[in-house]
Chain A
Amino acid sequence: MALDRNFASNHRIFFVYMRIIDADNCVQAVDSATLDEDAGTLSNVHTIFQGTRSPTER
């Protein structure tokens, strides 16, 4: 996870994770979102990068 350079004012974060897209495949994805620290929620979530499929099992 990384914080936006202006996180103090815009509360924007970036995070990378494996997104399961079906029973056999997942992809690496990077999303941006606005973090509400008091509510513990994310909003304004956007995928800004998604990789190619890779098998979930090897």
Chain B
Amino acid sequence: MSQTGSRIAIDPKDGNLFVALGTDQPAIRFRCRRSNRQVPGQGDPHYARRQAGARQSGAWPAGSLVDGHRTPQGLTFAPDGRLWEVEHGPRGGDELNLIEKGKNYGWPVIVHGINYPGTKIGDAIVEQAGARAAAVLLDRSSRPPAWSSIGATSFRSGRPACWWVAWPARRFSVWSWPKTIGSSTREPLLTDLNQRIRDVRVFQDGAVYVLTDRAGGKLLKLTPNNSQTRQ
């Protein structure tokens, strides 16, 4: 199976559906709920090409928002309405991206890191005019399986934050939303869980649910009281 990655997110403002597609179709597309809604992107000369393989269906017209993603593993709207994406990159190149319409996020031309066997990727270009840089370049090969936040608040700081999972190390962290490229702080949580975390969701009331996939996997609910967990 090709490693494409794919996530969906619904804009809490208007209910539009956003779909992040991976390696084979590296883009974030969106679908408007109403068929009479103007679809941004239709004036784009590349729109027809992008849509050539995507089946139109019913009252959900589609448009491409951005290009250049490798393996999206998280897609969510921040409390301020901005759309964020996190992706599993090559070795050493996982990214947290602020999605801005019309931008190209580089893959497979602009890359951070190397192939997992250790070989160079293409010409190893790390920046190029016209390509959007990652907001945060994550730890080497954190391989994020999930990422979520809607109206989230950091337990410790009380500020809006995103919730993040790093897979191989079984770490779980709360990140502050980056204000500038490269800036962010994190608060590690569940450091003694010792289970692989598959997903994290933040509900509108602030409850945070964490799903593990080990034999006897659990659905944990995080509460603000010293980040204690319960099933």
Contact = CB atoms under 8 A, between A and B. Distances in A.
Majority secondary structure of chain A interface residues (helix, strand, loop or mixed): strand
B97 interface: no
Nearest to B24: A54
B60 A56 contact: no
Given A46-B57, A51-B53, A4 B10 contact: yes
Interface string B38-49: 000000000000
Given A49-B57, A51-B24, A30 B1 contact: no
Given A18-B1, A52-B25, A54-B24, A47 B57 contact: yes
Contact of A54 (B2, B8, B19, B60): B2
Interface in B128-146: none
Given A30-B19, A48-B17, A56-B2, A2 B24 contact: no
A30 B25 CA distance: 14
Interface in A10-51: 14-16, 18, 26, 28, 30, 46-51
A14 to B, nearest CB: 6
Report the interface size class on chain B. 20 to 34
A14 B1 contact: no
A14 B57 contact: no
Nearest to A5: B15
A26 to B, nearest CB: 7
Interface residues of A, number: 25
B121 interface: no
A49 to B, nearest CB: 6
Contact of B25 (A16, A26, A28): A28
Contacts of B58: 46, 48
B60 A28 contact: no
B29 interface: yes
A14 B8 contact: yes
Nearest to B5: A28
A54 B58 CA distance: 23
A5 B10 CA distance: 8
A5 B53 contact: no
Contacts of B9: 2
A51 B8 CA distance: 14
17 contacts: A3-B10, A4-B10, A5-B10, A16-B6, A16-B8, A28-B21, A28-B22, A28-B25, A46-B57, A46-B58, A47-B55, A48-B58, A49-B57, A49-B62, A51-B21, A52-B24, A56-B2
